[in-house]
Structure 1
């Protein structure tokens, strides 16, 4: 016990939250990976996954100085961070990177939570509760994903922005003067007190105001000095975000805009220079490596992602199948709200962000804007589907916003406890949950959102899902994954539209081998057995989308009939 007390006395108080989270993280690693996965590369369940293999390939190429574009598919920051650990732990080169990113993400989260009025250990509990207890969410912090350093950078930028806004309170005149030196309010009318002139001699001759003004000046300088570290971190983080996940640049721009407003309010030019220097330094280093590999062109990853793009016209449907109930359309899965129900309270907290106290409002609005815009973009992203959310762990895209919604949920509960009228913000959330978007049969020439084909003999789920396949209809041709997605459900293949409705006379062309055969070209091989003919195949059912209202799906039997 004496040794434990000495350790507690020797370690700074700020270390203990990180130590506690490290222990919880390591226990989660054992739960997700197991001891065998840590010691035997063959037992590591993601050792043969494509994305993770490409990260390792890129890191290995960087270690040997190989800058061939073919060796570097994904954004460069994550492989670069894993490079030092290739020799130390070849099967787990990203283990320490992931742990460091997790703790750095908490560091930024802690600063934001403080601005929200959440104490230190409350922030620890909240961050841990929204990241590690649930297996399917914990593992996306442990598996190698480029979203892990992106999450750390976004939270560091948010935390630095929050610190800058906290500093601005030091520059407000009423707050820079201690209370004893503030002039008292009085009723209108003649004053019995001597009038103090505005000239400097009058100020020097007034002993009460002199020390107060001098103290305010010292506090302002101290606050300006304290803003340089957050400004530097902000610049470094924003400069690295494009090389962690290019799509997150939009969120970085939102954070940067709010930070610029804070610096302008504070009139702290030196802190602005620190932020600019940090951004230029980090961006220039990674941009130099990027240009050395790809030249002045987008990377293959950027070009491929751009082919998917966004479909904001169907945002409501995507929100329904991703957040609420996907089974009627995709035959499997659960909505994200089932796994993270605090998103409901967090959404209500975002709705009332504008009515937070003025001192907390800028940070609250900045965090709400970053979270809301990110979620909207991800819901509109064509390639993010319920089938991939859990089967292929695409929930990792949301891992940094889950603590954000948890923070708004806690803030909403606390505000509602003090001001029950705040509960009104739950009304639009609950009303939205009564909306149902279900498939309904439609005629042969009516627009359809889903068409069904007979499954080829020997069809398997994964090859069917990822096949390079085409579908033609009355308006032209569509590609699997980019324009629609095909899913094997029982002895049927569902084709779910992602960009535009099917226009009738749909014909399914199995894959590139089948297409070559239909066009009379030499395929140079054989079509996979599961895609045996005859081709093309015609539809056996067509469905449109029907919007209705009713109780949320949680109140219906799980065995409810599906199409």
Structure 2
């Protein structure tokens, strides 16, 4: 805003008693001179800012990308299998394909995923040998920035605002930038999707660039099968927008409408035909006329629309307490609730006719593209809370986050417009409209985010109770799992990898159903949880679990039901958090061994830990976040009756300049002690458990609530952003008097 307000006269228009026409004319001349002299520099400054925002934004992204890449803890040192991110399943397949291409092997033996991303990495592996996807991923990020800014301008943002929002969303959330650093094929698919969306916007803009927009849309749509075939779904609204103009004229002049439709189809085909030809030639060169192994597996796994409501809660809102590990997307991407409100407000204003025709169609196209993409992956059978964060599957939503950031900004604009109605008389008639749009946004946000997922018991008759046969590694479920919301809690112990990835099967009605495609087994404290991915036969079923797992015959398997509950989620502050959020260990913990001690040696302790609050093994395990829990069962009921003590051998994370750790100790929901840990050396911390606090089943839940856990990065100790507290090396139960 300039110092001189150019929209108001410098002098009153009415003459004062001492004024003369000459004085008034002089004042007006001075005003006009000041207006001209201030308006021109302001316009030039605005043009220079719009021109310079793109190179400045690109430079900031390059610097942020390079900095984050160098500090990425999973970065491998070379093209070595099982090192860094090359040890992950998806990346290991990409590396295998790249190494085969480098050796001139175009056979199908070493190819799994659609090959275009690996082919591009192969070309760059001769430039950046150790990190072949560094430059392609960076180029994808920079293209996504440019395309998003162009899309932002199409819906009313300035180039500066669009660039700022993209930078805030991408750099402000470490996980969003990580999706561009790690080698995912979404790093190539995302800019292509944005190209298709922008191409459709350009095609209907009425400018001379419309033809290039349709060609760009065709290229994006044609190349996608060689990268991520399912992502073409997000471009269907763009195709509808391109066709909408001629189709809208159909009732008035069919001949003209048909010519317009054919003309647009030809321009789209000019981009689509060569692009799909490239995709088909690559596929035929590798697999011939047969589908790839990945396509066959994807067809078998597939999508299930009935999973969308459940996955909305477990992936977007809050998976707890049903899944103690992981959080909802809205906890990490903090602008999502505002984005949901912005989307609702825009649709409301569009229905009220407050958004002009062309821009209204663009909004509907963008919202439909994002909604279809989210619906696709929320219905994907193999997307779960554990994989979303542990295996970084949040990259599925990569390109949608900056666009949703734009709608969050629109909602903020709406709030400022509402405030403006109290400050400006001409804007007051719009006060009611802005208020309605704002309240609708709030209502939609509450309905979208205030959920949690929890388990509830299923009443079964004695003859329907599951039966465990430890010797044959089987669990017989006489009543089967009658609903996709029913789960089977399995009291088994063994390697976590074997439980999560093991060759489990389920036999029912003469059919054998398989792990991953028909059901999934997730890790729980004390065992695992089998969840259906598709409707299972409503007949007696037998679960055959991996022979590497050991069943606990003292615990009966249970059938429970997954419920999505509307109410306060578990991410709210602890003092208002629902009590049910602590019910995240539905199976009793394993019995303690003869020597009542749990050694944190990467093997023994796994079955006792409630997932989500503990780090991977690193000479013990760090508590993560503000609460870390252990569940166990005492071997001798007399120990519980007489009272006992729990010793925790641990060391604190206390970097230079940090205060001592303050830890509340809770046992079975009772606050028993407070520990003040001021040493980084191993020390024994004890809590006394009084008689009567543990029931006859001997079940104990120990909760360590580190109130001032801290991030190493905040103290200059490496790039680690985890909240660390105590490094626990052992937990032992000490009977009274011992």
Distance 1:294 1:41 in 2: 26
Q: Does 1:232 align with 2:215?
A: yes
How far does the alpha carbon of each residue in 1:165-215 deviate from its partner, in whole angstroms, 9 at most, with x for none? 3x22xxxxxxxxxxxxxxxxxxxxxxxxxxxxxxxxxxxxxxxxxxxxxxx
Deviates more, 1:114-123 or 1:262-271: 262-271
Alignment of 1:78-477 (within 5 A): 78-165=117-204, 167-168=205-206, 223-224=207-208, 226-261=209-244, 267=260, 273-354=266-347, 355=350, 356-418=355-417, 419-423=434-438, 424-444=440-460, 445=464, 447=482, 449-456=486-493, 459-472=494-507, 477=512
Query: Is residue 115–residue 162 contact of structure 1 (8 Å, CA) maintained in 2?
Result: yes
Matching residue within 111, 127, 145 for 1:72: 111
How far does the alpha carbon of each residue in 1:450-469 deviate from its partner, in whole angstroms, 9 at most, with x for none? 1111113xx12222101121
Match for residue 567 of structure 2?
A: 550
| C-alpha spacing 1:443/1:472, structure 2 compared with 1 (3 Å) | farther
- Partner SS state of residue 438, structure 1: strand
Q: CA deviation at 1:472?
A: 3.8
Distance 2:496 2:411 in 1: 42
Distance 1:350 1:132 in 2: 23
CA RMSD, aligned part only? Answer: 3.1
Match for residue 99 of structure 2?
A: 60
Distance 1:344 1:61 in 2: 44
Q: CA deviation at 1:33?
A: 4.7
Match for residue 20 of structure 1?
A: 60
Match for residue 481 of structure 1?
A: 516
Q: CA deviation at 1:85?
A: 1.6
How far does the alpha carbon of each residue in 1:438-480 deviate from its partner, in whole angstroms, 9 at most, with x for none? 2111133474611111113xx1222210112113457964322
What TM-score, normalized to structure 1?
Answer: 0.77
What TM-score, normalized to structure 2?
Answer: 0.60
Q: Return 5+ residue gaps in structure 1 as ranges.
A: 1-7, 169-222, 515-529
- Partner SS state of residue 171, structure 2: coil
Query: Is residue 81–residue 92 contact of structure 2 (8 Å, CA) maintained in 1?
Result: no
Deviates more, 1:374-383 or 1:494-503: 494-503
Distance 2:53 2:563 in 1: 57
| C-alpha spacing 1:16/1:560, structure 2 compared with 1 (3 Å) | same
Deviates more, 1:440-449 or 1:117-126: 440-449
Query: Is residue 457–residue 560 contact of structure 2 (8 Å, CA) maintained in 1?
Result: yes
Residue-pair matches, total? 478
Q: Which has the larger radius of gyration?
A: 2
Query: Is residue 337–residue 343 contact of structure 1 (8 Å, CA) maintained in 2?
Result: yes
Distance 2:501 2:82 in 1: 25
| C-alpha spacing 1:79/1:434, structure 2 compared with 1 (3 Å) | closer
Q: CA deviation at 1:153?
A: 0.4
Query: Is residue 79–residue 95 contact of structure 2 (8 Å, CA) maintained in 1?
Result: no
> RCO greater where, 1 or 2, for CA within 8 Å and sep 6 or more?
1
- Partner SS state of residue 482, structure 1: coil
| C-alpha spacing 1:14/1:263, structure 2 compared with 1 (3 Å) | farther
Q: Does 1:560 align with 2:582?
A: yes
Identify the structure with the greater helix proportion.
Answer: 1
Distance 2:262 2:507 in 1: 59
How far does the alpha carbon of each residue in 1:470-498 deviate from its partner, in whole angstroms, 9 at most, with x for none? 13457964322222211222221111222
- Partner SS state of residue 313, structure 1: helix
| C-alpha spacing 1:152/1:136, structure 2 compared with 1 (3 Å) | same
| C-alpha spacing 1:556/1:505, structure 2 compared with 1 (3 Å) | farther
Distance 1:546 1:271 in 2: 48
Distance 1:28 1:57 in 2: 25
- Partner SS state of residue 554, structure 1: coil
How far does the alpha carbon of each residue in 1:223-254 deviate from its partner, in whole angstroms, 9 at most, with x for none? 33x22332322221121111110111212233
- Partner SS state of residue 328, structure 1: coil
Query: Is residue 440–residue 543 contact of structure 1 (8 Å, CA) maintained in 2?
Result: yes
